[in-house]
Amino acid sequence: MSSDAMAIHQGADVGSRPWVETLHGWVTTVDHKRLGILYILYALLFLAVAGSEAMIIRIQLMYPHNSFVSPQVFNRIFTMHGTTMVFFVGIPVLFGLANYLVPLMIGARDMAFPRLNAFSFWLTALGGFLLYFSFLGGSGLYGAGNAPDVGWWAYAPLTSRAFSPGHSSDYWTISLLVAGFGSIGTAVNIIATILCMRCPGMKLSRMPLLVWLNLVVSGMVLIAITPLSAAQIMLCVDRYLGGHFFDTQAGGSATLWMHFFWIFGHPEVYILILPAFAVLSEVIPVFSRKPMFGYPVMVGATIAIGFISMSVWAHHMFSIGMSSYGNAFFVLTTMTIAVPTGIKIFNWLGTMWGGRIIFKTPMLFCIGFLFNFLIAGLTGIMLGSAAFNWQLTGSYFVVAHFHYTLSGSFLFGIFAAFYYWYPKITGRMLFERLGKLHFWLFFIGFHLCFDLMHIPGLLGMARRIYTYEPGRGWDTLNLLVSIGAFIQGIATLIFVANLIISYFKGAKAGNDPWDAWTLEWSVSSPPPAYNFAVTPTVASRRPLWDLKHPEDPDSRYE
């Protein structure tokens, strides 16, 4: 069947339905592409919500003794900002991309378990709903606005009945438990899809790196999200059944919660950053017009990161007073992880080296990522050494560091993914001028905000304080940091506007606007419901290169 015939067939399929039926179709869908889009839209919604919360935090901290929000509201806002960004922006967007792209990239019709896929998405959606319902239901209607205020780590004993009366912390617990089950379901699904649904010839050694990285991420989700689920069950037992897991009055241990949380918490950081690595590993080769440099090493480095990230969690806890052996162990493992990460950065540079680089928006975000991630890694090494960490833990230096990884790296990678795959998902190109404006504004705002944020941290400004005294040298810096945050907010609005305008007015993309090499570009944009009319067969890592250059296929050299 030619692609024209597909397009006509598709138009007849979705053209003239009443909107109720369309809505019903989306709600009951088990199609991996639609679920992927739902995940991504859901993440965008929460990006807007959590972004607004960040703005509230920055308005409050703009001036000393500001009273834009009360201390109580400030606690709720930073808790909700952190929780939302990690669980309801980061995880949904990475699963959305994996859902949409993995089956297309490995030449499969759908995920291995389509109904489990839908179930997992709606669990995650329910989790986000529960978290925000706490604003209404936290203490019944009289306590409206009573969201969780325990911080995203929710250290004991803050979560005990005495310090968290009402139900707001329970909504937090149940929300993360439910969303965690959703994540486990999707991770199981992605692994089964990758291992069992590859098209003929798609050996593990020929899979696109995005697929490889998602395989590793899903494996990490299985081992890392589950400790959090277990700890949340324990917290429920404590709060509802009168258990004593984290109740120090009855011999329980607050430290145990810290361990359980960070056994989840640190791998989680890598669960978020690896999908950004995955995007870079697809975008950089295409926009450098070269195959990926050091593919096997990239795969090895990814697996190494997966393993090592499981053994570094207590570097979040140097200040609790571990033995010197414990400190030394976690310092060394933390330093070790710099090695595979460094390998990755060199391989991306190696891919760009000597390539014919095309500075389109996706590539700009990838290059921005390389700069930001390098600095994030350097401050990470600083914080990873126990002696330095003792001075700066719990300060704005730490906040600046992890926003470098999550905003400057994860978000940059995700933006690159949007500009790269939006044409495939919608059939329309994003406007390049708006995209460049988005990039430069975001880049400038990001650096104004988070470069300067390190300094108040070094000067002793603790994280999570709702205001501060004037005259400590923090005032101007905080004002500039806030201005940087607003610039990022404006840039994000431009991005959202671009998404909406391009959907209606963007240039038609065609099957393969970037002259790329992976299988998703071989089908129409958007892809038909069945993905591939004929199951493809691949003979190399770049099947579309082989198709376009039959005189010099990759399969001859691999």
- Using CB under 8 A as the binding rule, whether residue 551 contacts another protein is answered as no
Give the torsion sign (CA, 163, 168, 171, 172). negative
Among 242, 342, 394, 473, contact with another protein (rule: CB under 8 A):
242
- Using CB under 8 A as the binding rule, whether residue 28 contacts another protein is answered as no
Among 241, 387, 505, 557, contact with another protein (rule: CB under 8 A):
241
Residues numbered 193-232 forming contacts with another protein, rule: CB under 8 A: 193, 195-198, 200-201, 218-219, 222-227, 229-231
Among 426, 523, 545, 554, contact with another protein (rule: CB under 8 A):
523
Shortest reach from residue 114's CB to another protein, in Å? 11
Q: Segment near another protein (CB under 8 A), from 80-88, 205-213, 442-450, 544-552?
A: 544-552
Q: Which residue has the tokens 């001036």?
A: 63
Token pair, residue 24, equals 């019903």
* Residue 110 vs 282, nearer CB to another protein: 110
Token pair, residue 212, equals 């490889």
DSSP-derived letter for residue 291 is P
- Using CB under 8 A as the binding rule, whether residue 473 contacts another protein is answered as no
Residue type, 198: R
Question: Residue 106, by phi and psi: left (phi above 0), alpha (psi -120 to 50) or beta?
Answer: alpha
Residue 346's Cα: distance from chain center in Å?
A: 22
Among 86, 522, 545, 554, contact with another protein (rule: CB under 8 A):
522
**Closest C-alpha to 72, from 171, 202, 165:** 165
* Residue 206 vs 401, nearer CB to another protein: 206
Answer yes or no: are the C-beta atoms of 396 and 57 closer than 8 Å: no
**Closest C-alpha to 264, from 313, 304, 327:** 313
Shortest reach from residue 198's CB to another protein, in Å? 6
* CB under 8 A, 24+ apart: contacts of 320-328: 320/255, 320/258, 327/386, 328/386
Residues numbered 165-194 forming contacts with another protein, rule: CB under 8 A: 184, 187-189, 191-193
Task: Using alpha carbons, list the distances in angstroms from residue 334 to 2, 266, 378, 382, 523.
Answer: 53, 11, 12, 10, 43
Query: 267 Cβ partners below 8 Å, 6+ apart?
Result: 220, 223, 224, 309, 310, 313
| 499/492 Cα distance (integer angstroms) | 11
Shortest reach from residue 517's CB to another protein, in Å? 12
- Using CB under 8 A as the binding rule, whether residue 245 contacts another protein is answered as yes
* Residue 28 vs 249, nearer CB to another protein: 249
* Residue 16 vs 323, nearer CB to another protein: 323
* Residue 244 vs 436, nearer CB to another protein: 244
Query: 352 Cβ partners below 8 Å, 6+ apart?
Result: 284, 288, 290
Q: Segment near another protein (CB under 8 A), from 141-149, 321-329, 400-408, 541-549?
A: 541-549
- Using CB under 8 A as the binding rule, whether residue 555 contacts another protein is answered as yes
| 412/374 Cα distance (integer angstroms) | 13
| 356/475 Cα distance (integer angstroms) | 46
* Residue 260 vs 422, nearer CB to another protein: 260
Among 8, 23, 250, 465, contact with another protein (rule: CB under 8 A):
250
Token pair, residue 450, equals 């988070």
| 288/517 Cα distance (integer angstroms) | 12
Shortest reach from residue 436's CB to another protein, in Å? 26
* Residue 87 vs 450, nearer CB to another protein: 87
165 phi and psi, to 5 degrees?
-70, 170
- Using CB under 8 A as the binding rule, whether residue 332 contacts another protein is answered as no
Give the total residue count for the chain: 558
Task: Using alpha carbons, list the distances in angstroms from residue 450 to 66, 87, 151.
Answer: 21, 22, 20
- Using CB under 8 A as the binding rule, whether residue 243 contacts another protein is answered as yes
Q: Segment near another protein (CB under 8 A), from 96-104, 111-119, 282-290, 421-429?
A: 111-119
* Residue 32 vs 401, nearer CB to another protein: 32
- Using CB under 8 A as the binding rule, whether residue 546 contacts another protein is answered as yes
- Using CB under 8 A as the binding rule, whether residue 511 contacts another protein is answered as yes
- Using CB under 8 A as the binding rule, whether residue 508 contacts another protein is answered as no
Shortest reach from residue 3's CB to another protein, in Å? 6
Among 63, 153, 329, 532, contact with another protein (rule: CB under 8 A):
532
DSSP-derived letter for residue 519 is G
Shortest reach from residue 53's CB to another protein, in Å? 30
* Residue 193 vs 347, nearer CB to another protein: 193
Q: Segment near another protein (CB under 8 A), from 240-248, 326-334, 342-350, 447-455?
A: 240-248
- Using CB under 8 A as the binding rule, whether residue 99 contacts another protein is answered as no
- Using CB under 8 A as the binding rule, whether residue 113 contacts another protein is answered as yes
- Using CB under 8 A as the binding rule, whether residue 533 contacts another protein is answered as yes
Give the torsion sign (CA, 168, 169, 174, 175). positive
Token pair, residue 307, equals 């393993």
* Residue 86 vs 231, nearer CB to another protein: 231
Number of residues that bind another protein (CB under 8 A): 67
| 462/453 Cα distance (integer angstroms) | 11
Shortest reach from residue 553's CB to another protein, in Å? 7
3-state SS string over 394-452? CEHHHHHHHHHHHHHHHHHHHHHHHHHHHHHHHCECCCHHHHHHHHHHHHHHHHHHHHH
Which residues would be at the binding site for another protein (CB under 8 A)?
1-3, 112-113, 116, 184, 187-189, 191-193, 195-198, 200-201, 218-219, 222-227, 229-231, 233-234, 237-238, 241-245, 250-253, 256, 260, 263, 510-512, 519, 521-523, 532-534, 536-539, 543-544, 546-548, 553, 555
